[in-house]
Structure 1
Amino acid sequence: MCADLWSFALSTYARPGVEAACLRLQEQGADVCLLLCGAWLEQRGVAYTFERVQALQLLARPWRTQVVEPLRQVRVQWRTMAQQDTQLASLRERVKTLEMEAERALLMRLETLAQAWPINEGVGQYGWLEGLATEAANLDHDALQRLRVVVANT
């Protein structure tokens, strides 16, 4: 079990099928950082509560909308043009690095908030993934289940 959220997120995301599942959920409006945090909390046995979900969402929303998403939009917008322009491709890679640094900062903020919550109080209790997914993402049971299976086998 990874003690810190960043290490957990990196190792989980690298497992087979997780990246695809996360990208599917992200396309449906889910915040992948929140989902990975939820998976981490489930693995640690942190009890799910509505108040905790709200606290995580309130912390994540402004950072995601004002920092992560604008960087992602630029990176995606430049994808096609960067294939024919090496200078733009280089800039795009730098934006991608900034986006990842912004996601890491968000994960560190989420971890700091969650550190005060007792571990092993909700072992076998699920709900974090569904609670932190958007309504549309909750309809993609396969993608959420893929995350849960990977975490369970960690």
Structure 2
Amino acid sequence: MSEDVWSYALKLYASPGVESACLALQDAGADVCLLLAAAWLGGRGVRFHNERLGDLSNAAAPWRRTVIAPLRTLRQQWRERAQLDPELHALRERLKQLELSAERILLDRLGSIAQSWPEEGAQDLQRWLREAAGKAEGERHDALEHLRIAASLL
């Protein structure tokens, strides 16, 4: 695969409206790292298979649950107090960097899993995203469609 998943994710996330779309999908229960990896795979023409998504989901779930989610929860809990406390603000910023590092590790792991999957010129971007979004797709179809459009432009 030509571009690593982390570099791709940074470019996609920086696209107009993608951050808010991803946050809306996350609020609806989707795993943003899984969505970004799905967009990367779909954009590269990797054919969608339920087993492939299952492999990615199974790898992502424990890391998300035991590493990313606790960091995110603590960071969010500190949001209001950190606005009034400079030391807590600095700690919250460091926590944000830890969360980002944990997301990068997860994306790298997902990329490693998919490394041997051939680029076949498949047009499965929409399916990759829809299936990766799970139940969030029905709740936030607009956000998922925005993400799909942005990914198709990269």
Assess same fold via TM > 0.5: yes
Separation in structure 2 between the aligned mates of residue 107 and residue 77 of structure 1, nearest angstrom: 25
Moved more, 22-31 or 130-139: 130-139
Amino acid at match of 1:134: G
- Aligned pairs (5 A) from 1:3-152: 3-122=3-122, 124-125=123-124, 126-152=126-152
Normalising by structure 2, what TM-score?
Answer: 0.95
Q: Which has the higher helix share?
A: 2
Contact 2:4–2:111, Cα closer than 8 Å, also in 1: yes
Separation in structure 1 between the aligned mates of residue 101 and residue 120 of structure 2, nearest angstrom: 30
Separation in structure 1 between the aligned mates of residue 136 and residue 147 of structure 2, nearest angstrom: 16
* CA deviation vs aligned residue, 1:43-92 (integer Å, no higher than 9, x gap): 00000001001100000000000000000000000000000000000000
- Runs ≥4 residues deviating over 4 A: none
Amino acid at match of 1:144: L
Identity %: 51
Question: Displacement of 1:2 after TM fit?
Answer: 6.2
| TM-align CA RMSD | 1.3
Identify if the C-alpha distance between structure 1 residues 151 and 2 changes in structure 2 by more than 3 Å, giving closer, same or farther. farther
- Equivalenced residue count is 153
Moved more, 125-134 or 52-61: 125-134
* SS of aligned partner of 1:83: helix
